């Protein structure tokens, strides 16, 4: 748990904090000068993960841009559950006010939002950064806010997702029938089914045991999460499909946001955008470093995927069909053309 007050209170720091207060949304407590606002966040990871560092940066920036009293209560290591729990909390306006999560975990409220994290969407990091620095995903954000009352206030991410498996998967023949976990949005399963794998949506906190017990033979993920959650213990083979550069929205409960003073709302929007840029640079820079750390430690074996260009050809019809289904063909065309 990270619990820290605004710098203007002279007590900014990282320390064990108070127990999570019961109730809903952002908490307010009267002070001698003004209302003190407590914003509650959650991370599935420890203090060294890029998501956690990004949320700490977000808190620092909010404090910088807001003159009032603020306190941040950030819970780590999955203390409040996994992302599918977070999205329900945010939608209901309870337990947490902000977090970072995969678009696929918000698909039940906004079916089109997984497009922003669709495998093979981005050509490279420059293309990815250009899209996330624009307003290209505005229509997807609007759907999420309308349907779930969850606001996107910034974009982080930058990890490159690869196949992670108990046995090597280095070509299409070995990928055929490969039992693997994918994220919950249907487009994820559709993409990997088109690549002849056998995908299934399994809860993230069940993946380690599912591989260990042989229910699945692998999954797909970025280096930071493989390292942080020690997935290499059961899946030491990493195949460089490089199928996704992650897009991870920094999100906030609309119910919590509307309770805040206007000046704090403005500070949050500005801080969210800037924290997102901070996080994107951090995670994209650290991604290769963390992968190499695991190689050097003998924890993983890295292989190239033979004939990766063929994968790109195989997924284009699936991407096009998904975009047409959610009335986002123009958006997909715009992203591809950026």
d(CA 336, CA 115) in angstroms, rounded, equals: 12
Q: What is the pLDDT of residue 2?
A: 72
Instruction: Give the model's pLDDT for residue 22.
Output: 34
pLDDT tens, per residue, the chain with 338 residues: 776 555 444 333 333 332 333 344 565 443 334 568 999 999 999 999 999 999 999 999 999 999 999 999 999 999 999 999 999 999 999 999 999 999 999 999 999 999 999 999 999 999 999 999 999 999 999 999 999 999 999 999 999 999 999 999 999 999 999 999 999 889 999 999 999 999 999 999 999 999 999 999 999 999 999 999 999 999 999 999 999 999 999 999 999 999 999 999 999 999 999 999 999 999 999 999 999 999 999 999 999 999 999 999 999 999 999 999 999 999 999 999 99
pLDDT at 13: 36
| pLDDT computed for residue 34 by the predictor | 54
Alpha carbons 251 and 109: distance in angstroms, whole number: 14
Given the candidates 3.40.190.170, 3.40.50.1820, 3.10.50.40, 3.30.300.30, the CATH classification of the domain at 2-337 is 3.40.190.170
| Confidence at residue 214, expressed as pLDDT on a 0 to 100 scale | 97
**Domain spans of the chain?**
2-337
Rounded to whole angstroms, the Cα distance separating 302 from 309 reads 19
pLDDT for position 12: 37
Report pLDDT for 6: 52
Contact, 71 vs 39, CB < 8 A?
Answer: yes
Q: Which residues of 210-238 are buried (b: 16+ CB within 10 A; e: fewer)?
A: bbeeeebbbbbbbbbbbbbbebbebbbbb
pLDDT for position 234 = 98
Determine the Cα–Cα distance for residues 99 and 76; give it in Å rounded to an integer: 11
What separation in angstroms does the CA of 221 have from each of 102, 225, 240, 244, 276? 12, 7, 11, 9, 20
Give the Cα separation of 136 and 115 in Å (integer). 11
| C-alpha angle 42-45-49 in degrees, rounded to nearest 5 | 110
């Amino acid at each position: 748990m990270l619990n820290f007050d605004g710098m203007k209170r002279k007590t900014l720091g990282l320390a064990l904090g108070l127990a999570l207060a019961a109730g809903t949304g952002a908490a307010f407590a009267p002070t001698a000068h003004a209302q003190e606002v407590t914003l509650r966040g959650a991370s599935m990871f420890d203090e060294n993960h890029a998501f956690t560092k990004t949320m700490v940066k977000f808190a620092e920036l909010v404090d910088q841009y807001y003159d009032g009293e603020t306190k941040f209560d950030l819970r780590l290591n999955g203390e409040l559950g996994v992302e599918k729990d977070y999205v329900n909390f945010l939608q209901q306006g309870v337990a947490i006010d902000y977090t970072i999560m995969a678009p696929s975990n918000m698909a039940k409220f906004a079916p089109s939002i997984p497009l922003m994290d669709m495998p093979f969407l981005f050509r490279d990091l420059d293309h990815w950064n250009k899209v996330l620095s624009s307003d290209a995903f505005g229509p997807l954000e609007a759907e999420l806010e309308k349907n779930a009352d969850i606001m996107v206030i910034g974009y982080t991410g930058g990890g490159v997702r690869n196949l992670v498996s108990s046995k090597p998967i280095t070509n299409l023949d070995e990928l055929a029938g490969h039992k693997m976990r994918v994220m919950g949005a249907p487009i994820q399963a559709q993409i990997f089914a088109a690549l002849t794998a056998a995908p299934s949506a399994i809860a993230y906190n069940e993946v380690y045991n599912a591989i260990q017990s042989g229910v699945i033979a692998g999954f797909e993920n970025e280096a930071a999460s493989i390292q942080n959650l020690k997935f290499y213990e059961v899946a030491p083979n990493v195949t460089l499909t490089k199928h996704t550069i992650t897009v991870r929205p920094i999100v906030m409960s609309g119910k919590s946001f509307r309770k805040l003073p206007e000046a704090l709302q403005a500070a949050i929007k500005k801080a969210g955008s800037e924290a997102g840029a901070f996080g994107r640079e951090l995670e994209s820079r650290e991604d290769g470093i963390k992968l190499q750390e695991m190689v050097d430690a003998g924890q993983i074996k890295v292989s190239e995927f033979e004939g990766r260009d063929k994968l790109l050809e195989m997924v284009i019809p699936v991407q096009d069909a998904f975009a047409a289904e959610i009335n986002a063909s123009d958006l997909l065309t715009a992203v591809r053309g950026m």
